[in-house]
């Protein structure tokens, strides 16, 4: 499988990438790790005329904590996140998500920025970035702006990125207090993508849940925050019964669950409930 022809330009700075994007507009695509874009191009699902390779911009690859905020550069690979001592300590949900994503070779090359920008409905990162309440920092012709992960994913393969924009980093407040997190997925046996993926972060205060973030991927054409689950958890004692009751809301309001040969929409919604319960139980256990 060979992609259609394109012009290939390597850039060394963000400014250079932005000016090329402004020049070529919708004819151009940003190439990060290439592990979403190149497969789509090989299938001729995408045929950009120009590829702007940002792989050589080293300053887009970082994981750092500053003033209570964790910043992850767009070109940070899944492997770097999986093995980050900083994240393993302060937000283990992200390494746990990374280690279940694709396979070793894919994690070596694929990037978090590329994955969120591609917005595959079965990708793993969307659930995690929604759960931690992340913002996607975007840089475009008018400068920099931050988009809440909840608003970033618009539809299948569609984000709120505008022409000329590129993803610069993912940032979020470092979890504080007594927290427990978990990512659990039903892995598609052939592709490894999430049939259903549930990311959970819980904050516990005095034995009760004071705050939570639940991100769901795979179920619908866009990842979502399970707000009814979060509402049910607020102030709850995190015992098995209350966790199961909260999890029963995992697909509330979802009318467009993805149905295909491997899993029907009803089955996905069922899995979402089961895996939300399991992820909640695991996260609650870790918070103790």
Give the residues lining the site for another protein (CB under 8 A).
Answer: 1-8, 10, 31, 34-35, 38-39, 42, 51, 53, 55, 79, 99, 102-106, 108-109, 190-192
Please, what is the end-to-end C-alpha distance for the chain in angstroms?
50
**Residue 147 backbone phi and psi in degrees, to 5:** -115, 130
Q: In angstroms, give the least distance from the CB of 62 to another protein.
A: 17
35 versus 268: smaller Cβ distance to another protein: 35
Q: Which residues of 190-223 are buried (b: 16+ CB within 10 A; e: fewer)?
A: eeebbbbbbbbbbbbeeeebebbbbbbbbbbbbb
By C-beta, is 4 or 22 nearer to another protein?
A: 4
Q: In the complex with another protein, which residue's Cβ is closer, 100 or 242?
A: 100
Of 88 and 108, the one with the shorter C-beta distance to another protein is 108
| Nearest to another protein of 68, 261 (CB atom) | 261
- Rounded CA-CA distance 197/78 in Å is 16
For another protein, the closer CB: 85 or 190: 190
Contact predicate 70/90, CB 8 Å: yes
Separation CA 257–CA 278 (nearest Å): 20
- Which residues lie closer than 8 Å to 28 by C-beta, 6 or more apart? 20, 21, 48, 49, 50, 51, 52
CB of 77 to another protein, least distance (A): 8
In angstroms, give the least distance from the CB of 185 to another protein.
14
CB of 103 to another protein, least distance (A): 3
For the CB of residue 105, give the shortest distance to another protein in the complex, in Å: 5
Neighbours of 25 (CB within 10 A): 10
Q: Which is nearer to another protein, 8 or 205 (CB)?
A: 8
Q: How far is the CB of 43 from another protein (least distance, A)?
A: 8
* Residue carrying structure tokens 């054409």: 221
Can you tell me which residue has the tokens 């659930």? 127
Task: Give min distance, CB of 102 to another protein, in A.
Answer: 7
Kindly list the distances between the CA atom of residue 179 and the CA atoms of 270, 282, 285, in Å, as whole numbers in the listed order.
27, 12, 10
């Amino acid at each position: 499988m060979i992609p259609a022809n394109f012009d290939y330009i390597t850039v060394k700075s963000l400014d250079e990438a932005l000016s090329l994007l402004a020049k070529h507009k919708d004819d151009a695509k940003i190439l990060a790790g290439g592990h979403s874009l190149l497969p789509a191009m090989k299938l001729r699902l995408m045929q950009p005329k120009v590829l702007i390779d940002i792989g050589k911009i080293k300053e887009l690859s970082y994981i750092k904590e500053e003033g209570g905020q964790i910043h992850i550069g767009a070109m940070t690979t899944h492997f770097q996140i999986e093995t980050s001592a900083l994240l393993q300590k302060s937000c283990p949900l992200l390494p746990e998500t990374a280690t279940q994503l694709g396979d070793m070779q894919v994690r070596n090359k694929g990037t978090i920025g590329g994955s969120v920008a591609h917005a595959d409905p079965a990708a793993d990162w969307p659930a995690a970035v929604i759960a931690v309440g992340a913002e996607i920092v975007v840089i475009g012709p008018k400068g920099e702006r931050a988009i809440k992960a909840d608003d970033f994913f618009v539809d299948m393969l569609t984000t709120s990125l505008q022409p000329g924009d590129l993803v610069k980093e993912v940032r979020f407040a470092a979890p504080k207090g007594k927290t427990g997190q978990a990512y659990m997925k039903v892995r598609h046996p052939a592709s490894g993508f999430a049939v259903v993926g549930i990311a959970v972060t819980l904050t516990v205060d005095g034995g009760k849940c004071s705050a939570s973030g639940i991100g769901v991927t795979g179920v619908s054409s866009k990842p979502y925050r399970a707000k009814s689950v979060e509402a049910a958890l607020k102030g709850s004692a995190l015992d098995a019964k209350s966790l199961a009751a909260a999890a029963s809301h995992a697909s509330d309001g979802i009318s467009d669950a993805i149905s295909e040969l491997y899993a029907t929409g009803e089955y996905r919604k069922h899995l979402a409930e089961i895996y939300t319960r399991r992820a909640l139980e695991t996260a609650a256990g870790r918070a103790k």
